[in-house]
């Protein structure tokens, strides 16, 4: 009748972890749900990742383009600005106006030139033709606002332009130091004849090299850059202007960018550079200036990488959080589904555990009632069976009632000093008919002097649950050892069986409500999965604990640790353990 008799092997817990997981419906369902979330999320992440990389590519293009176009545009603007005085003043002052000199016509052109070209300090006009100011250099500047002769640098100008005119070029330039300042001079030379043998007049301009570098160009570049707008969220575009001596003109003397993306070179001439071949150089080619554009310390790939980094980090964090969420979701779902499954198993187990003893009680009671039994020994055995089955029913109902109390948080324990050996003996006696009936050998080793603080009813129930499990899960070697002693300062009751044992991975779980080790094909003893959950609750209620040691196929040992009663003499604790122990008692069926 008792399921303890069923043949169950210790390794009957499934072929492999993976195999079991795949068979587990709740795990499959949870995995399906997790995949249903994981795949769309992964697709979303993929597109997000793609859009970041697309954005990076287009940002790279924009940054490169901005740098290239700015360098190109600035170079053109600088060249346009530099050639303005040549176009608007030197060319506009025609040979008719200078030969002979017509100062009233020239004056407004010079005025306009000074107004529009701030880097020009002075205009000059010289003519070898005409009645007035012949062979005299006349200067026109912002201070005089009119022509004046007696120009200190006049002789230099006439001498040098005469020399340069021998090259027969109309555009002529040279550099000189005037009053200790580096100065550029450029002239438009007119010749007597088309053969250009003799210079007849010139119109010239003067530029202070230092003022050009210190004042004009920095302001010019600042004005131009005001309109340059880079993409939002990226470092601004920086521009460096470098003169022919490699001196940095803009950005306070040092290059704005340690890496430049683009560079444009242009000659420092105050006319259209395309005309350079028509100009009379001073013997060496004009200074080559450079415009560089860049984004500071970083190259474009570095900027893009730095911008991508937080986005990637964010995505990684999100992906991690998602994965964690999916993991917990799947775990919780699997757990919930398993609990639901366990609960449904529980209901069928309870029905079974109620029906079996009732059927037996009914059967034996009816037999006794009919009075057919002549043999009193037989009758006594039937009474014992009825009694044992009734106890089983009581234990089951107690477990159910206690469990609902525990769940509702209503289970209270009333502790009192109890002799553990006496309590254990009582429990063993009450179960004796079951031991006998199931042919179990129970060996005891009880230290009579251990008194613990115990709620007797709850402790009896815990011990009964352990003994009932020892019977249920010992199909072959029907031997149970029960010990009472003192270990590590606790009063201890130990139940040792030689049954199927518990695989290590379940040793914690068996104390969870409804949890039952699944056996192959659902064979094995019936149960509600509440017994050990109640044992653990009872032990916690006693400020003690329950320990399990087990070896699959060889048996299990459950040990209840109770707090010793505070009034116990200390001497007992140091007892060797032999004193007061009963001799080993063998109760055999």
286 versus 531: smaller Cβ distance to ligand ADP: 531
The CB-of-438 to ligand ADP minimum distance in angstroms stands at 14
Task: Output the CA–CA distances (angstroms, integers) from residue 445 to 202, 535, 550, 582, 587, in the order listed.
Answer: 132, 22, 20, 7, 12
The CB-of-517 to ligand ADP minimum distance in angstroms stands at 3
99 versus 551: smaller Cβ distance to ligand ADP: 551
527 versus 541: smaller Cβ distance to ligand ADP: 527
114 versus 534: smaller Cβ distance to ligand ADP: 534
Dihedral of alpha carbons 483, 486, 488, 493, sign: positive
The CB-of-426 to ligand ADP minimum distance in angstroms stands at 21
How many helices and strands in the chain, by DSSP H and E?
A: 13, 18
Task: Output the CA–CA distances (angstroms, integers) from residue 283 to 30, 167, 175, 181, 279, in the order listed.
Answer: 88, 11, 11, 21, 11
**Residue 65, C-beta contacts closer than 8 angstroms, at least 6 positions apart:** none
- How far apart CA 478 and CA 471 sit, in angstroms, is 7
DSSP, res 129: S
The CB-of-539 to ligand ADP minimum distance in angstroms stands at 13
The CB-of-527 to ligand ADP minimum distance in angstroms stands at 2
491: closest CA among 430, 428, 568?
Answer: 568
The CB-of-452 to ligand ADP minimum distance in angstroms stands at 22
Residue 256 class from Cβ within 10 Å (0-12 exposed, 13-18 middle, 19+ buried)? buried
113 versus 529: smaller Cβ distance to ligand ADP: 529
The CB-of-381 to ligand ADP minimum distance in angstroms stands at 26
- How far apart CA 313 and CA 72 sit, in angstroms, is 37
24 versus 153: smaller Cβ distance to ligand ADP: 24
Tokens standing for residue 210: 């230092």
Give residue 122's Cα distance to chain centre: 66
531 versus 544: smaller Cβ distance to ligand ADP: 531
364 versus 506: smaller Cβ distance to ligand ADP: 506
171 versus 396: smaller Cβ distance to ligand ADP: 396
Task: Output the CA–CA distances (angstroms, integers) from residue 83 to 49, 139, 167, 203, 276, in the order listed.
Answer: 51, 20, 22, 15, 12
Task: Output the CA–CA distances (angstroms, integers) from residue 247 to 224, 261, 356, in the order listed.
Answer: 21, 19, 105
The CB-of-485 to ligand ADP minimum distance in angstroms stands at 20
- How far apart CA 466 and CA 463 sit, in angstroms, is 5
473 versus 490: smaller Cβ distance to ligand ADP: 473
- How far apart CA 491 and CA 459 sit, in angstroms, is 12
- How far apart CA 173 and CA 189 sit, in angstroms, is 10
The CB-of-549 to ligand ADP minimum distance in angstroms stands at 11
Residue nearest to ligand ADP (CB): 527
Backbone angles phi, psi at 191, to 5 degrees: -115, 155
Contact positions vs ligand ADP (CB under 6 A): 465, 469-470, 472-473, 497, 499-502, 510, 515-517, 527-533, 556
**Residue 316, C-beta contacts closer than 8 angstroms, at least 6 positions apart:** none
The CB-of-532 to ligand ADP minimum distance in angstroms stands at 3
User: Is residue 465 classed as helix, strand or coil in its secondary structure?
Assistant: helix
- Residue showing tokens 């600042």: 222
The CB-of-531 to ligand ADP minimum distance in angstroms stands at 3
446 versus 532: smaller Cβ distance to ligand ADP: 532
């Amino acid at each position: 009748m008792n399921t303890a008799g069923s043949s169950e092997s210790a390794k009957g817990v499934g072929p492999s972890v993976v195999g079991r997981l795949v068979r587990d419906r709740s795990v499959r369902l949870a995995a399906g749900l997790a995949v249903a979330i994981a795949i769309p999320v992964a697709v979303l992440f993929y597109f997000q990742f793609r859009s970041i990389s697309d954005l990076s590519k287009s940002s790279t293009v924009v940054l490169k383009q901005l740098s290239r176009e700015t360098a190109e545009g600035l170079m053109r603007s600088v060249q346009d600005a530099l050639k303005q005085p040549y176009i608007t003043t030197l060319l506009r002052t025609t040979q008719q106006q200078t030969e002979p000199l017509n100062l009233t016509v020239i004056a407004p052109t010079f005025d306009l030139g000074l107004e529009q070209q701030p880097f020009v300090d002075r205009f000059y006009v010289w003519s070898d033709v005409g009645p007035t100011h012949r062979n005299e250099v006349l200067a026109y500047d912002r201070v005089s606002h009119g022509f004046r002769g007696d120009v200190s640098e006049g002789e230099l100008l006439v001498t040098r332009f005469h020399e340069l005119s021998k090259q027969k070029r109309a555009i002529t330039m040279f550099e000189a130091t005037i009053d200790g300042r580096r100065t550029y001079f450029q002239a438009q030379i007119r010749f007597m004849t088309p053969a250009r043998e003799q210079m007849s007049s010139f119109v010239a301009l003067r530029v202070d090299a230092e003022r050009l570098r210190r004042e004009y160009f920095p302001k010019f570049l600042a004005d131009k850059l005001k309109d340059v707008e880079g993409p939002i969220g990226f470092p601004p575009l920086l521009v460096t202007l470098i003169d022919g001596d490699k001196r940095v003109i803009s950005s306070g003397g040092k290059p704005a960018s340690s890496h430049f993306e683009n560079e444009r070179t242009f000659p420092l001439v105050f006319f259209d550079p395309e005309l350079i071949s028509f100009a009379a150089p001073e013997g060496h080619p004009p200074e080559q200036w450079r415009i560089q554009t860049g984004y500071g310390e970083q190259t474009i790939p570095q900027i893009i990488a730095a911008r991508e980094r937080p986005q990637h980090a964010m995505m990684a964090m999100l992906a991690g959080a998602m994965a964690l969420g999916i993991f917990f979701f799947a775990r919780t779902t699997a757990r919930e589904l398993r609990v639901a499954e366990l609960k449904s198993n529980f209901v069928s187990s309870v029905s079974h555990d109620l029906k079996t003893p009732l059927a037996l009680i009914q059967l034996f009671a009816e037999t006794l009632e009919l009075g057919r039994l002549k043999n009193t020994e037989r009758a006594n055995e039937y009474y014992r069976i009825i009694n044992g089955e009734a106890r089983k029913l009581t234990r089951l109902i107690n477990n159910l009632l206690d469990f609902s109390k525990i769940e509702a948080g209503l289970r209270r324990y009333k502790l009192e000093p109890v002799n553990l050996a006496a309590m254990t003996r009582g429990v063993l006696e009450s179960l004796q008919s079951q031991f006998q009936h199931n042919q179990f050998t129970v060996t005891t080793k009880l230290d009579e002097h251990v008194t613990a603080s115990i709620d007797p009813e709850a402790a009896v129930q815990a011990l009964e649950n352990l003994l009932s499990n020892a019977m249920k899960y010992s199909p072959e070697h029907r031997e149970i050892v029960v010990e009472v002693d003192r270990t590590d300062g606790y009063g201890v009751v130990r139940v040792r069986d030689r049954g199927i044992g518990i695989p290590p991975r379940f040793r914690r779980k068996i104390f969870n409500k409804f949890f039952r080790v699944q056996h192959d094909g659902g064979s094995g003893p019936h149960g509600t999965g509440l017994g050990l959950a109640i044992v653990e609750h009872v032990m916690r209620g006693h400020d003690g604990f329950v320990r399990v040691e087990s070896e699959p196929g060889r048996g299990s040992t459950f040990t209840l640790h109770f707090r010793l009663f505070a009034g116990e003499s200390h001497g007992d604790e140091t007892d060797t353990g032999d004193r007061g122990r009963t001799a080993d008692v063998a109760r055999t069926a």
